Structure 1
Amino acid sequence: MARIQTTRRGVLAGGAGLLLGLTLPFGRGMAQQAATGPFAPNAFVRIGTDDVVTVMIKHIEMGQGPYTGLATLVAEELDADWSQMRAEGAPADGQAYANLAMGVQLTGGSTAIANSFMQMRKAGAAARAMLVAAAAEEWGVPAAEITVKAGVVAHEGTGRSSGFGALSQAASRLPVPEDPPVKAAEDFVLIGTDRPKLDTVAKSNGSAQFTMDVYRDNMLTVLVAHPPKFGATVAGFDDGDALAVPGVEMVRQIPSGVAVYATNTFAAMKGRNALKVDWDMTGAETRSTAQMFDSYSAAAAEGGQTVEETGDLSALDGAAQVLEAEYRFPFLAHAPMEPLDAVIELGGERAEMWFGSQFPGLDQPTVAEILGLPQDDVKINVLLAGGSFGRRAQGTAHLAAEAAEVAKAAGRDGAFKLVWTREDDVKGGHYRPMTVHRLRAGLDADGNIVGWENVVANQSILRGTAMEMMLQGGPDATSYEGSTNLPYQFGASRIGWAEMENPVSVLWWRSVGHTHTAYAVETFLDELLAAAGKDPVQGRLDLLPGDAARERGVIEKVAEMSGWSGSVRGDKGYGVAYTKSFNTYVAEVVEIEDRGGSPHVTRVWCAVDCGIAVNPNVIRAQMEGGIGYALGTALHDRISFSPGGEVEQSNFDDYPMLRISEMPQVEVEIIQSDADPTGVGEPGVPPLAPAMANAWRALTGNRQYELPFGGGSVA
């Protein structure tokens, strides 16, 4: 019996019978630590006879903290002790585990806490009510006299007390409350306090289960030879040399390329290297990066379609001063630490998969359709993922589809592990879209902004995917989000969008459209304020309407944190930027030095308003991580195309990550709020690069119109 299969069946043997489904625990040793017993009041909570509370987490854990955050919500209403809490990834089940903000089982848009806030609290409250009812019945006392604190159910009058486990069997026989009451905010014990993440120990000691840790009996490892240019297809192949490699068992053509099946990863790699493929380049992209940018720039200059308009932009004609700028943003890879992989096993007219599925709601039906199976006969076990940044939430379900095609092409039952190498991932598309912003704005004689225009040219992320229905025949707002609905009072304004066509596949990237719109908006605004002789912080505050309390709150807080007293102090430059993304308000101030003509960020201050702070520790970690991720990209990263259309990057040597020596000191302040919680996985990213560019311009006079900072600087 395969190791992972033994572990999983061990959990099932002692698990709760009322759960809709179980998945692998996140560590090899967790089978013994997971809850054992009969009490499963709903799809989210399982309480064992050993007092352990296991929470089924419907959002994939890829480092952003839903295992901890959602378990906190359950523990709060259950009045559990944090030490007894566990978490497991929920399987694919769209009815039980749909994202309430999106209607399908999907992790994305920084919605994990926001959409689950009341749902998970109700799940915990229902379990608590049932435990209390069971104790009241067993002890013969009124339920209203029973208290629950730190995992102990007690009745003061009789001196009786119990852990959850001893009451679990009796509780399981009681009706589940339909709408149990939840706590008032002033009664919170766990929500709003720092708690250690539930997956930290397993990830630290190496026991955490990722897809590469999954081994099935007689499993073959599969690597796919993908086209060297986007839009190319297989014309033919010669597998003679590949089949001669020891360990290679077969070679099959699939829709995405040619698959090499082997008994181990090394043999599959050698076999793929030996494979000879004739590629049909008829529909291939052959333009260079420069040629693509030229076409995008021309489209932006034509103005695009209007997606937002306020007032009469002819106000620019009478402006005392008009500024213009064009910003260029390259394609970007997500580059998660764990490249794509998936295990699929066929047998008995059923399929089972193990992988870091960020979009089970699409992956499951896609696999079922390819294999010709009923959807209920395709089981997806959602494992931990070693990062994603949007890479695993694919509107085309291409990874799940490729795994299914691999299994189908094998022509037999069995287990197959599909592996993408780092080079496959960096060269394999599904990038943050290449984008051009063309901006112009006017100032009157008093330095007031009288008109603002921003035209964005890029591809639609949703077009041609299962998510295209979201467009409803209109423009793709994810392509220009963050350029519209600005809080600033600009007088007249117009936002345009030019939709570009390109065979290079694109995908959402951590903070999606805000990754480029925040940069263009906040750096151009800084130039306008400088031209008007206004302070960057006060200038932004003056542009806000009176009801913009939360926007004003984060800007004022970050100015206070950084001791803002101007853009230059001695040999250091300071820049500020503000963005609202995923309903979370963030402002950042960057301190920068000039080291031999190159920018070096030494400190970053960040103020965030994300509503109720469920776990401040996770929020700070996400802000810090987003800042580091954004900084590395701003300094180093681009996906570029050579003349002829081939991707020039392949691994971390030419697509580098931020070095530890480049990571600045970061200070995060969370604004106290009683608003419903909003996202934190992505909102820390957008303000960093513009704040950095603003600081660099203030210090050196160089305006950065193209990212990364290695190119496009204008003195």
Structure 2
Amino acid sequence: MRHDPEDAYRGRPALTRRALLRGGAAILGGLVIGIELPVRRARADEPAAAGAPLNAFVHVPAEGPVRLIMPAVEMGQGVYTSQAMCLGEELDIGLDQITAIHAPADQAKYGNPLFVVQATGGSTTTMAWTEPLRQAGATARALLVAAAGAQWGVDPATLTTENGVVTDPASGRTLTYGALADRAAGLPPPTDVTLKSPDQFRLIGTPARRIDTPDKATGTTVYGIDVIRPGMTFAALMASPVLGGKVAHVDDAPALAQPGVRQVVVLDDLVAVVADNTWAAQQGLAALDIAWANGPNATLSQAQLWADIETASKGPGVTAQKQGDALAKLGEGTLFEATYELPFLAHTPMEPLNCTVHVRDGACDVWVGTQVPGFCQMGAAKVLGIDPSKVTINNHIIGGGFGRRLEADYVVTATRIAAKVDGPVKVIWSREEDIKQDIFRPLYHDRLKARVENGRITAWHHRITGASILARWLPPAFKDGIDGDAVDGAIDPPYAVGDILVEYIRHESVVPVGFWRGVGPNSSVFSIESFLDRIAKNTAVDPVAFRRGLLADNPRALGVLNAATAKAGWGTPAPASPFGARTGRGVALMHAFGSYLACVADIAVSDPGDVRVTRVVVAADVGRVINPDTVVAQIQGGVTFGLATVLHDKVTIADGRVEQSNFHDYRLIRIDEMPAIEVELIASTEKPGGIGEPGTVIVQPAVANAIFAATGVPLTRMPVDAALLAKAV
């Protein structure tokens, strides 16, 4: 059973940015004063704080740190700190004076302005929440200053604030924010606030230590998998190994004979063993005798899936972008054509899927780490047939999301199990189930054609074939047959390519697919950048020089390209490596998620065809930077994630089953494979862009182009095929 996210959307009025910034109880940056928010804490054991909520994002206690009700979820990307910096900047407090907690499930108050729904993903947190959180801080500060002015009988405009204290310079009197909170909450909110100018910033743009690091370092952070509830049991589960299969028969006697096993829950598509601890649950699951009804997908193969998408790619497409008459121009002159394919991919977050659920008295409590608390609330309510208001989502810091926790399916599954169990039950997916029952990144098939005249591209045709995630995840966003995510990075390339036609062909299979770090741009940027290198080689032009010739009207893109290539020493040979005599240097450029990145990768190839990446240089223009340390860390983490993708990772299907099961056959980058990663941030006054995913996207084509330079073998289907590279010796 899968949760339909449209349930969370259905019946809601359309939320425009204007509606979010104004109106009723859903004004971002200054919600109706005095509302006592039903806060769900990131730390389940954190005591409630007395004091007053000044808006949906700011709660000022009588004593202690200001509480930031954080609209975006922390899953390792550093938004605890960056969101706190935005709030603290305008509220005139330091990071040491802020406690950040996750917002409750509330689509109206905490709906992402770019998604409309309450979701953390798409590298949108900084883009979506910088201004609203600054407005929230400025609004709270204005109320506190007004309260102090009223108490002292002075003009609020004469008062100053610093480090959570309001001062009257004329008399030297001071009041803390905590002492003013109750009075401030009773005042009418200002209709307009003035935000600081960049020259007044104390926090924004400065390197800041992450405020969530100390608890993580000392082991006191409570992730979803750490939750303990009184009387809690533990469940291990197994779903049909064949896609879409069902349970035919279960002999539960062997499991019930295991020490600590209390119960076996049999549903139509899965079996769960409930026990006193996780080990006992796993042992009971291993002892079960389960017969599966495999269903119609038992003969499905990866070869068939590749053949199906290839066939679909030749069918009619929907126009996603059109300027001029590219098809007519492509019938003349020098024509280049290439096809690129990307496999299914799993997410493999360090914290495997887990969810604790307690169903009782017509209500439900859920403890989980999720990127979509509203969807989870709706999904659990639908399972139980109760009103969503009866479902409480206690959200936790997440040990890795990468898009997997943009789905509510695992909360739905845990709720289905918990409905059969007395008391709270923690459901934990094994690593094998986490991989085999994932919601994978889709297969993608990209076909590109270009006409080149005098070193310039004058016509461009890009056909993208793949599943539509948005059509399922948020149906109102799937418009006119176009999945905006699938064509992201293709419909607005950074280059001048003359007449352009971009088409999208929706192609679905029985394999469940969803968001994966970078999603559409993984496909479009990889194929575009690889294609440009092939054109450059076939026209005897340096790849960087070729790109520069297409960027005369795009200074931000040209800026990152020049910065990355200069830092990497483009034009000099890639350094020799003991790993292999064949060395190469590759370049790639991207514009997606509101940011511009360029990457240069150095690689070495051994005689057997193994690839070692020795150095990666990235230049990034992400607009105005909130915390440069976080931006650099996100690029480094994204590059690491992307390296595993281009070198190792794929999910394949045989006999209707996912063939991969753990890290021995779904490889992550290991310590001895890690290259040096150098990052240069370009100073910018543009609006903030996203950075959670671009590092993953940009490194893949850079490595592919480095392999092409070293071996002459173009990488047209990821990951690297060592056998092909070995033949090229």
Do they fold alike, i.e. is TM over 0.5?
yes
Aligned residue in 2 for 1:274:
287
Determine which of 127, 150, 155 is the counterpart of 1:114: 127
Aligned residue in 1 for 2:568:
562
Aligned residue in 2 for 1:488:
495
Residue 609 of structure 1 aligns to which amino acid in structure 2? D
2:400 maps to 1:387: yes
Aligned residue in 1 for 2:5:
none
C-alpha contact 1:704 1:713 (8 A) present in aligned 2: no
CA drift at 1:18: 4.6
Aligned residue in 2 for 1:539:
546
Change (3 A) 1:122 1:305: closer
Q: Secondary structure at the match of 2:465?
A: strand
Aligned residue in 2 for 1:9:
none
2:36 maps to 1:19: yes
C-alpha contact 2:42 2:395 (8 A) present in aligned 1: no
1: CA distance, partners of 2:672 / 2:285: 37
Change (3 A) 1:533 1:93: same
Residue 524 of structure 1 aligns to which amino acid in structure 2? F
2: CA distance, partners of 1:648 / 1:176: 58
Alignment map for 1:206-605 (pairs within 5 Å): 206-302=219-315, 304-310=317-323, 311-320=325-334, 322-394=335-407, 397-410=408-421, 413-444=422-453, 446-463=454-471, 465-546=472-553, 548-565=554-571, 568=574, 572-596=583-607, 597-605=609-617
C-alpha contact 1:328 1:706 (8 A) present in aligned 2: yes
Deviations 1:685-713 (A, max 9, x none): 21101011112211232221221113584
1: CA distance, partners of 2:148 / 2:74: 35
Q: Secondary structure at the match of 1:318?
A: coil
1: CA distance, partners of 2:443 / 2:656: 14
1: CA distance, partners of 2:591 / 2:636: 17
Change (3 A) 1:712 1:550: farther
C-alpha contact 2:574 2:602 (8 A) present in aligned 1: no
CA drift at 1:526: 1.0
Aligned residue in 2 for 1:654:
665
Deviations 1:272-302 (A, max 9, x none): 2222222222222522222321222233245
1: CA distance, partners of 2:151 / 2:318: 69
Aligned residue in 2 for 1:10:
none
C-alpha contact 2:351 2:399 (8 A) present in aligned 1: yes
Q: Secondary structure at the match of 1:543?
A: coil
Q: Secondary structure at the match of 1:273?
A: helix
Alignment map for 1:120-131 (pairs within 5 Å): 120-131=133-144
CA drift at 1:557: 2.1
Question: Alignment length, in residue pairs?
Answer: 687
C-alpha contact 2:34 2:55 (8 A) present in aligned 1: no
Determine which of 610, 621, 626 is the counterpart of 1:614: 626
Residue 676 of structure 1 aligns to which amino acid in structure 2? K
2: CA distance, partners of 1:231 / 1:545: 51
C-alpha contact 1:345 1:416 (8 A) present in aligned 2: yes
2: CA distance, partners of 1:511 / 1:703: 22
2: CA distance, partners of 1:309 / 1:558: 31
CA drift at 1:569: 6.3
Q: Greater shift after overlay, 307-316 or 109-118?
A: 307-316
C-alpha contact 2:51 2:61 (8 A) present in aligned 1: yes
C-alpha contact 2:80 2:212 (8 A) present in aligned 1: yes
Q: Which runs of 5+ in 1 are unaligned?
A: 1-15
CA drift at 1:448: 3.4
CA drift at 1:44: 1.0
CA drift at 1:383: 0.6
Q: Greater shift after overlay, 335-344 or 110-119?
A: 110-119
2: CA distance, partners of 1:487 / 1:70: 29
Q: Secondary structure at the match of 2:297?
A: coil
1: CA distance, partners of 2:128 / 2:488: 21
1: CA distance, partners of 2:142 / 2:172: 20
2:648 maps to 1:636: yes
CA drift at 1:342: 0.6
1: CA distance, partners of 2:339 / 2:674: 29
Q: Secondary structure at the match of 1:666?
A: strand
C-alpha contact 1:51 1:164 (8 A) present in aligned 2: no
Determine which of 676, 700, 707 is the counterpart of 1:665: 676
2: CA distance, partners of 1:592 / 1:85: 44
Q: Secondary structure at the match of 1:617?
A: helix
Residue 471 of structure 1 aligns to which amino acid in structure 2? F
CA drift at 1:210: 0.8
Deviations 1:577-596 (A, max 9, x none): 11111111111111223345
If the length of structure 2 is used for normalisation, what is the TM-score? Answer: 0.90
C-alpha contact 1:349 1:373 (8 A) present in aligned 2: yes
2: CA distance, partners of 1:313 / 1:244: 69
C-alpha contact 1:352 1:380 (8 A) present in aligned 2: yes
Q: Secondary structure at the match of 1:438?
A: strand
Residue 548 of structure 2 aligns to which amino acid in structure 1? L
2: CA distance, partners of 1:48 / 1:645: 56
If the length of structure 1 is used for normalisation, what is the TM-score? Answer: 0.91
Q: Secondary structure at the match of 1:231?
A: coil
Q: Secondary structure at the match of 1:392?
A: helix
Residue 546 of structure 2 aligns to which amino acid in structure 1? G
Q: Which runs of 5+ in 2 are unaligned?
A: 1-32, 578-582
Alignment map for 1:23-102 (pairs within 5 Å): 23-26=40-43, 31=47, 36-102=49-115
C-alpha contact 1:52 1:165 (8 A) present in aligned 2: no
CA drift at 1:211: 1.3
Residue 478 of structure 1 aligns to which amino acid in structure 2? D
1: CA distance, partners of 2:724 / 2:492: 29
Change (3 A) 1:377 1:179: farther
Change (3 A) 1:494 1:568: farther
2: CA distance, partners of 1:128 / 1:305: 50
C-alpha contact 2:489 2:524 (8 A) present in aligned 1: yes
1: CA distance, partners of 2:295 / 2:611: 43
1: CA distance, partners of 2:722 / 2:301: 16
